[in-house]
């Protein structure tokens, strides 16, 4: 996405139809689910008598199911239509979040988060096409609106989790269920019917076939390494800080705002200056440096490192996807699905192992060291010379396709 294509956010908000606003509202709530549990990890561990390794499974089950589901959401949308796919996803999220509030064990909560992840995959993967198809002012304006929904969701999720979690760890799940139920009713009422719409079939294995392209495969694996580091910060920092839900929520609210600003405003400018692939290499190596900073045994330093990492994450969320979208000849929706499969698989594995890594290596800071090494490997993969040009712009779809989860 070039810097000019962003224009003004106000321009993107003018005269949008109801179904665009409703879908964007639902997208905000869905994106909140990524960071919602972050501030209440310690409360959940205490309330359900769970270990840190068990609690971080709340991320891995959520992400792991999304990873697999992303391979079938395109086929489902092509078969049943965007509206029905969106409604099915929202219904699963409402049911899962409501039941999460009543969970009696960490095993039940982990299983319900998996159902939540399935619903989120069906909703998020389809919401973009609904917004782009219905928005006025062209695709660029629709994408900007979607990016704004992403940023608000990432920032508000930890804050809502903190405020409701200060009452009870069950509170954030109740709040999300209520908001998603409202989104389900609104989407059911106002989204246009798609029963008679002609749709191009998508085969289940098309995204994996796209990964046969060497450049796309390197980029996807590099993104998986970075995303593992990203979720090391998200899933492990609350245990290192050992602070209240409100304190952690405020920290990650600031982090989410940095992600949004960098992804929408700064990434296109950096790509224009260095080229998207070179900008990605510089940014992911910068993220490695920040992971080393998080090893410093000082909580104020860790707080600053986490918030600053949001800026670099915003850059990388956009730049990695820009590289993935421009490096191969595969259709962008297919390349995106294969790329996202690898990317979020890295997050699911990291969220599963981060607690064990700390135990195996005998240090609560060890996961950040591993994260730094993974980022260096990601930079090395992207630094490999290719025959294709390094475009000095980010494709318009890039700032959100890589953030659809």
Total Cβ atoms within 10 A of residue 366:
17
306's tokens: 């986490």
Which domains occur in the chain, in start order?
3-401 (1.20.1250.20)
| DSSP-assigned letters across all residues of 56-69 | THHHHHHHHHHHHH
**What torsion, rounded to 10 degrees, do the Cα atoms 28, 31, 32, 38 define?**
-160
Q: What's the DSSP call for residue 37?
A: T
- DSSP three-state, residue 11: helix
- DSSP three-state, residue 320: helix
Owner of token pair 């954030």: 172
> What is the spatial distance between Cα 374 and Cα 381, in angstroms, rounded to a whole number?
11
Residue-wise pLDDT tens for the chain (405 aa)?
A: 444 444 445 555 566 777 788 888 888 887 787 777 788 888 899 899 998 888 888 888 988 898 888 778 767 776 777 788 889 999 999 999 999 999 999 999 999 999 999 998 888 767 766 776 666 655 555 655 666 677 788 788 888 888 888 889 999 899 889 888 988 898 888 887 766 566 566 677 777 888 899 889 999 999 999 999 999 998 899 999 989 888 988 999 899 889 888 887 888 889 889 888 899 999 999 999 999 999 999 999 999 999 999 999 989 988 887 788 778 777 666 777 788 889 889 988 998 899 889 989 989 999 999 999 999 999 999 888 665 556 665 555 454 444 443
- Residues 354, 41 contacting (CB under 8 angstroms): no
323's tokens: 């590289």
């Amino acid at each position: 996405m070039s810097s000019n294509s962003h224009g003004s956010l106000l321009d993107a908000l003018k005269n949008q139809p109801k179904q665009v606003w409703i879908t964007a509202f639902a997208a905000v709530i869905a994106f909140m689910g990524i960071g919602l549990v972050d501030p209440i990890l310690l409360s959940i561990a205490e309330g359900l008598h769970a270990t840190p390794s068990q609690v971080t499974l709340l991320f891995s089950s959520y992400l792991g199911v999304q990873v697999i589901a992303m391979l079938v959401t395109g086929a489902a949308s092509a078969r049943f239509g965007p509206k029905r796919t969106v409604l099915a996803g929202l219904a699963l999220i409402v049911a899962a979040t409501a039941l999460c509030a009543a969970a009696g064990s960490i095993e039940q909560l982990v299983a319900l988060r998996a159902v939540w992840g399935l619903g989120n995959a069906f909703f998020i993967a389809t919401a973009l096409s609904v917004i782009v198809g219905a928005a006025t002012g062209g695709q660029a304006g629709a994408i900007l609106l979607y990016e704004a929904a992403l940023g608000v969701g990432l920032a508000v999720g930890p804050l809502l989790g903190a405020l409701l979690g200060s009452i009870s760890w069950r509170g954030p799940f109740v709040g999300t269920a209520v908001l998603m139920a409202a989104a389900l009713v609104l989407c059911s009422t106002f989204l246009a019917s798609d029963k008679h719409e002609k749709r191009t079939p998508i085969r289940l294995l098309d995204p994996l076939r796209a990964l046969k392209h060497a450049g796309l495969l390197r980029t996807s694996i590099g993104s998986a390494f970075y995303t593992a580091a990203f979720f090391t910060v998200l899933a492990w920092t609350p245990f290192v800080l050992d602070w209240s839900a409100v304190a952690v929520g405020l920290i990650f609210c600031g982090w989410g705002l940095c992600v949004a600003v960098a992804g929408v405003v700064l990434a296109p400018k950096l790509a224009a200056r260095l080229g998207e692939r070179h900008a990605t290499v510089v940014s992911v190596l910068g993220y490695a440096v920040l992971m080393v900073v998080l090893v410093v045994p000082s909580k104020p330093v860790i707080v600053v490192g986490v918030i600053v990492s949001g800026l670099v994450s915003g850059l990388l969320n956009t730049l990695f996807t820009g590289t993935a979208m421009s490096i191969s000849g595969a259709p962008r929706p297919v390349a995106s699905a294969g790329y996202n499969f690898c990317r979020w698989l890295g997050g699911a594995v990291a969220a599963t192992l981060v607690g064990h890594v700390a135990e195996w290596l005998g240090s609560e800071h060890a996961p950040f060291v591993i994260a730094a090494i993974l980022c260096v490997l990601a930079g090395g993969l992207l630094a490999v010379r290719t025959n294709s040009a390094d475009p000095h712009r980010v494709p318009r779809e890039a700032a959100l396709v890589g953030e659809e989860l």
